Structure 1
Amino acid sequence: MSFVASRDAVNETHVNPVVNVNANYAAIMPFGFVRNLNNPEIIHNTDRQWFGETRAGAKQYIGELRKKDIKVMIKPQIWVWHGEFTGFIEMKNEDDWKALEESYSSFILEYAELANEVNAEIFCIGTELEKFIENRPEYWNGLIEKIKAKYKGELTYAANWDEFKRTPFWSQLDYIGVDAYFPVSDSKTPTVEDCLKGWEKHKQVIFSLHKKHDKPILFTEYGYRSVDYSGKTPWVSDRSLNQVNLEAQTNTTQALFETFWSEDWFAGGFIWKWFHKHDKVGGPDNFMFTPQNKPVEALLRKEYKNE
């Protein structure tokens, strides 16, 4: 599960629904914030953030998940004001690039230290930062070495679905991480068969990257909204897409399981996204990503049990 940070601490009542759906891993996602795509300052771990977005909050969440034997991936993320895409973060000059590097190192190494402290099974070194990586490859090579000096567990990076083919440092990590919002069907209510066919070309590319680097594939995020055309542009979170279609969400999700879950080179994935107040979210009228209290939750329970 991608376990969403909130204002509040969590307890057993918030973790039990994760256990009940047979999930064995949770991604914990502390946040840093930048003012715009050209601003080098990452604001993080401050008292102005929600508790779950901070280091103390991440540690508290992990402690509660551990009580139920849930394994953990710590996945620090950046939010750009107004929700602009992090893949487009790009500085205008060398001074700003240096400042961004210093700020990002402070952000990510803080959570690498936490990952080591709590013995997190996996640490994700970044999420959807293609322009940053493309422009500053040497920085990233050095950053990976600094992370490895602080944290001894397994490493991944969450590359966007149209980015992962170009990510240059997979050989230095343990998993090829993909945020798997691949387009798989143009249908209003895609069938499982539609989506299986839509996955064929993407699966070949994903498998070829596994073969090239001899690394397992991990879907650092996957999932679909419960809307019409859910398989057409699965990355879109625009609230103007609001025609609820629970069948579309279930079918697209089932096709993803059928395509990947039995492959020995596939490590698994973290569904986007799971909120702590299970009884207050999702449901049959919800058109966003969460599977909670929708038919797709039963599908998850079944598939996760079969792992």
Structure 2
Amino acid sequence: MPTVLSYPSLRCVLEFLDANRRQHVVARTPTLQQTNNSLPINVSNLEFTRYRLALDSLYITVSDTKVTWQKNNARLAWEKRFPVGIDKDGMWKKITKFFLTEKPKFHVNRLHIFSTESPIVVPSDVSVRANEMRVDGSFSFNHYLSIVDPISLPLKTLYTDVDGESTFDNPVFNTAETLTCRFSPRTQFIPLTKFDKVLSKNVRIEYVHFWHEKAEELIRHWREVGKEIGTNYVFFKDDKNMITRALSKLNDIFPEFNNLLEGVDERFITDSPRFSIPMNSTSKIFVYGNVATERGFDHYELTVKVTSMDTELECSAKKKPRLTSS
């Protein structure tokens, strides 16, 4: 005879059940609905694009005349036409309200928002607890902070555009544990000294047009004011030539600091110069180009990293062969 779950056990099972399966189970079991409404829904990925909402593998799309529900981008989907008197914007509001405000609170690992034409309209009473936030398109994270539960802060990861110098005054931006930010042609001349306000040691920076002066600016600034050991800034591009050209230019500027960085465990860009630049009596700056693979595709990085003065000695010691007595 099967064991009957206790009430606390049942709550635990429901809370951590896949969100789509949970909704299916609860819809068929009226006695579970009251319990369900008191529990947060845990979702790995919550995604907004214009007129599209994704809850993990469930995609809900609002077109001009109908709503489509699709699982895992399957070929088969369920569709329903709008009621009379409801337009596209009205249906989008109903969908987002039903899934995000009339349901229990969402706990989300990754909140992803993408919009290019205009900011996505989300009900004002939506509150999502998230670990990571990524905002792509023409609008930065500032437009969507109202939907992030303050208990989420500081974010583990933030990925966003830089709107202007005011972005560096935003505590959400400055306190994210890992920060990835993009500079547009409009904001690319903001000085990198603004990053002095950023607490994260792990920062990734993308420019539409990257040139060596940005890395040089960062290196010279750190040599002047100092930076904490363990700080790691990465300029990244899909264009390998942009990175290798920048490294070649840096080789003309800092030829005396050229260093093979033997013992450093990185997938270096072949034949590109690398540097070990002293910063102060206890630390130095490693600069190099490396290849990173994400989702099966290579992209290219220029890394500027602060390490202790002993790092190269430690790496060399690890590589020495062990002596054996004869």
The alignment's TM-score, normalised by the length of structure 2, stands at 0.32
* Higher-helix-fraction structure: 1
* Higher-strand-fraction structure: 2
Larger Rg: 2
Greater relative contact order (CA < 8 Å, ≥ 6 in sequence): 1
The alignment's TM-score, normalised by the length of structure 1, stands at 0.34
